[in-house]
Structure 1
Amino acid sequence: MPLRRDEPPAAAGTAGAAEAYWNAMARLWQEIQAAEAASVEGAAQKVAEAIAGGATLWAFGATHSSLLTGELVYRAGGLAIINPIYAPGLTISERPLPRTSTLEHLPGYAKVVLSGVPLRQGDVLFVFSTSGRNAVPVEMAMTARSRGATVIAFTSRRYALVAPPDHPPGHYLHDVADIVIDTHVPAGDAALRLNAVDAPVGPASTVVGALLVNGLMCRVAELLARRGLQPPVFTSGNVPGGAEANRRLLEALKGRIHYT
């Protein structure tokens, strides 16, 4: 979906650019739903099969893509066996924060990060990278696959192809993943152009990424239930009985949970 130049409504009482952003995101989401349903279904089937077989799930993203890892991990309504891979220097807690822009291009760093991660054959790794061209997420996917894990990538092909990959062999993330879910995010990761504003505004990747991955997890839960398995879903600790249910879940799955 190419960027549109949307002049916000000028009438008093309108939401202005906020409404223009919401409309742009609605158009993008309609495009994604039409194009990616089959990829999401294929990913859900693979994840459900892995969980049923006793495998563990992992998630990685660099800098703002790490927010989508956080979206999956240890939260109400989410699956308990999704383990985060947080690379030192590649989360938004890094200071100085601009250092992340250098580290995500660093060849060889992904192998260092994964050297202490018990990701193994049969596991599933989600890799979030909107541009899909930086060395760390590409090498993360390649290293995981070399261990026999399945890699599911959330990335935007239209964003990736505006510039060459910086991974030395010349791969984009969508070239090296087993399953690709295309986020359709425009190059630059902003949904809106406004008159009299030089740069595009309104980040898109976190919004559509959360919708995609949470929808995928809902489908996984449904598929597990159809197999006669109880999906390992966290309950909110802020509702009666929730904390106790979560403690039982963590104890039952402690061999597949690595973040406690």
Structure 2
Amino acid sequence: MTTKTEVKKFLNYLSNTWEQVVQNEEKSIDKATELIFDSCKDGGRFYIFGSGHSHMVAEEIYIRAGGLAYVKGILPPEVMLHQMPNKSTYMERLDGYAKNMLSLYKVEAGDSIMVVSNSGRNNIPVEMCIEAKKLGANVIALTSMEHTQSVSSRHESGKNIYEIADVTIDNHAPKGDAAYRIEGVEADLGPTSDFTGIGIAQSVIIGVISRLKEAELEIPVFKSSNLDGADEYNDRLFNQYYGYWK
């Protein structure tokens, strides 16, 4: 098989995976947008958290062109990948960390939070869901149902995030995430959780903005800082939505 043919085959693999999201997740995405809209219109915020590679989904909708200013990313560097290999993997299995993060970021009753975790089994994302619900926040899980239903929780509750959340959105990634095969290559390839996760996260933002428009409420959306005149516009949103903590 030529390189060109293999690339085309993988592109079709991506397309088929995304089609599963399109066919199956519209209702769950709509439920999530309803919860987030209710938070925004009542003066709350939409928080998003992911560790390891899942942090990229959180970062995708936080302070960027087309991004909604109600979004607050919970992005502590300790659970990202840029500092040291495997650090985020070990950190994600600690107890007590998520509860402190929710306190630091001032998550409150009436807010909404999306927790992104492909396996949905590790201590921090599970604790994030449990403690956010205790605070009275709406909890949305973005996870792989194929993966999470095939593994046990590492948290003392015995639950994975989909068992705690008010709404669960399936990213339709396979167990282990990387599952594309090339003959003669030992390891699985082509993980899809961030590919579909980013599309889902952006779909949620579009849904929330649509609801804000229907309700005739302010729609605070950032412009690209590389467009002329955008800096002044964006600075106003930064000052209004990020110049203080609730």
Asked if Structure 1 and Structure 2 have the same fold, meaning a TM-score greater than 0.5 normalized by the shorter chain, the answer is: yes
Task: State which of 160, 174, 189 in structure 2 corresponds to 1:186.
Answer: 174
Normalising by structure 2, we get a TM-score of 0.94
The aligned amino acid for 1:129 is S
Contact 1:58 1:85 in 2 (8 A): yes
Could you say what secondary structure the match of 1:202 adopts? coil
* Contact 2:115–2:125 under 8 Å retained in 1: yes
Identity %: 33
Query: 1:222 aligns to what SS in structure 2?
Result: helix
Residue 71 in structure 1 maps to residue 55 in structure 2: no
Q: Is the 8 A contact 1:81 1:257 kept in 2?
A: no
- Does 2:195 correspond to 1:207? yes
Matches within 5 A, 1:3-14: 9-10=1-2
In the TM superposition, residue 254 of structure 1 has moved relative to its aligned partner by 4.1
Give how far 1:94 is off: 2.2
Residue 117 of structure 1: how far off its partner (Å): 2.0
Aligned-residue offset at 1:162: 2.3
Match of 1:5 in 2: none
Instruction: State how many pairs are aligned.
Output: 246
Secondary structure (helix, strand or coil) at the match of 1:125 reads: strand
- The 5-angstrom pairing of residues 77-226 of structure 1 reads 77-95=66-84, 97-226=85-214
Aligned counterparts of 2:130 and 2:45: Cα–Cα separation in 1: 18
Aligned: 1:236 with 2:224: yes
Q: Deviations over 1:156-176 (max 9, x none)?
A: 111112221111121011001
Q: TM-score w.r.t. structure 1 length? A: 0.90
Partner Cα distance (2:201, 2:180) in 1: 23
Residue aligning to 1:17: 6
Distance (Å, rounded) in 1 between the aligned partners of 2:242 and 2:89? 35
Counterpart code for 1:50: S
Q: In the aligned structure 1, how far is the partner of 2:115 from the partner of 2:223?
A: 25
Is 1:251 matched with 2:236? no
State the partner residue of 1:44. Answer: 33
| Structure with greater helix share of residues | 2
Runs of at least 5 residues in structure 1 that lack an aligned partner in the other structure? 1-8
Which whole-Å CA distance do the structure 2 matches of 1:101 and 1:252 have between them? 35
Query: How has the CA–CA distance of structure 1 residues 230 and 170 changed in structure 2, closer, same or farther, with 3 Å as cutoff?
Result: same
One-letter amino acid of the counterpart of residue 52, structure 2: T
* 1:3 aligned partner: none
The one-letter amino acid of 2:99's match is K
Question: Does the CA-based 8 Å contact 1:191-1:201 persist in structure 2?
Answer: yes
Contact 2:64 2:222 in 1 (8 A): yes
Distance 1:158 1:32 in 2: 13
The CA deviation string for residues 112-168 of structure 1, in whole angstroms up to 9 with x for no partner, is 332322100000111000111111100011101100010111001111122211111
Q: Pick closer, same or farther for the CA change 1:18–1:49 going to 2, 3 Å.
A: same
* CA distance in 1 between partners of 2:190 and 2:49 (Å): 23
Contact persistence 1:79–1:233 (CA under 8 A): yes
CA deviations 1:185-226 (Å, max 9, x no partner) are 101111411211111100101110010010111111111011
